[in-house]
A = this chain, B = another copy of it.
Amino acid sequence: MPVTLKEVAERAGVSRSAVSRTFTDGASVSEKMRSKVEKAARELGYSPNALASSLTTGRTKLIGLVSNNFHNPIFLEVFDLFTRGLQERGLRPLLVNLTEERDPENSVRMLRQYSVDGVVVASSTLPPEFALAFRDAGVPVVHSFGRASSSPKVHVVGIDNVETGRMAARALMARGYKHVAFLGGPRDATSTQDRHKGFVEEMALHPDVRLTESFAKAYSHEAGRKEMLRLLDDQPAEGYFCGDDVLSIGVLSAIKDKGLSCPDDIGIIGLNDMEMSRWENIDLTTIHQPIKQIVNSSIELMVAMLDEPDRYPEARIFPCSVVERGTLPELPA
């Protein structure tokens, strides 16, 4: 049904190569030829078949966008940024939902069948093996929101989660709490492990302060709420560092449910600073993760890799900072 190059060539009375060249920038075509071809193309409503051309050029401009975070509102922001950023550069995101997938093999095969030019793994909970599997399959890959490392095996763009753990601990210590808690996300996520590590490390400098640790089943509202309800039955801490913002909001809900108030009875600090955390009826004190910068940098890195597939792997780490809002008491002046 769609118009082909051949038809345009016939109508314009020129060779197929000529048509191809007018639609390939950087190719040598005279002005006369170009206008003749463009006229015919316009009349026929022709536009070149990107997939056919990918056969010879070896470029599809398709980028696999792989994630498993379809229940965390911050990822809507992430998808928005990725899709727009990729579009602006003429790239097309092929979205892959890895929820319920523990084996990279299928997705690697699928994305190779579609000859994607590269893959962005956008997730803080997928194990590093996923990104590695793409690399091993010879597909350029960037792991966004992946584990920071001083000797990265694949390109990683994100934050230093260990450091955010320390920051959270310091923020709680600044409030003079004598009993604080780490309420992390899922145990097997590297982000959880790193935040935990940093938090514990920093707390080791305060041996007089009591430290409690626990983990929610997921980065989700429900998991946070459930875990907090359990904790509140026992002897709760004064200040909590929660796995992330959505988890924090679940925790806040549990606190209100028990008739306690925040920050008077219990202080909370989250992580991410998603749009919702700014909402006036949530007003969550949290650690800002610069997702816009992370996404844009990931895209730039991806674009660079398209020209230089064997680029030496690097880790791009962006600084975070505490955003003071209403769920921790004000700092003493």
Contact = CB atoms under 8 A, between A and B. Distances in A.
A296 interface: no
B97 A94 contact: no
A83 B95 contact: yes
B114 A51 contact: yes
Contacts of A236: none
Contacts of A221: 275-276, 279
How many identical chains are in the complex? 2
A249 interface: yes
A87 B97 contact: yes
A294 B321 CA distance: 41
Interface in A97-132: 97, 99, 109-110, 112-115
B65 A71 contact: no
Interface of A: 1-2, 47-52, 54-55, 60, 62, 65, 70-73, 75-77, 79-80, 83-84, 87, 92-97, 99, 109-110, 112-115, 138, 221, 225, 249-250, 252-254, 256-257, 275-276, 279-281
13 contacts: A2-B112, A47-B109, A49-B115, A50-B114, A70-B79, A70-B80, A72-B76, A76-B76, A79-B79, A80-B97, A80-B99, A95-B95, A253-B279
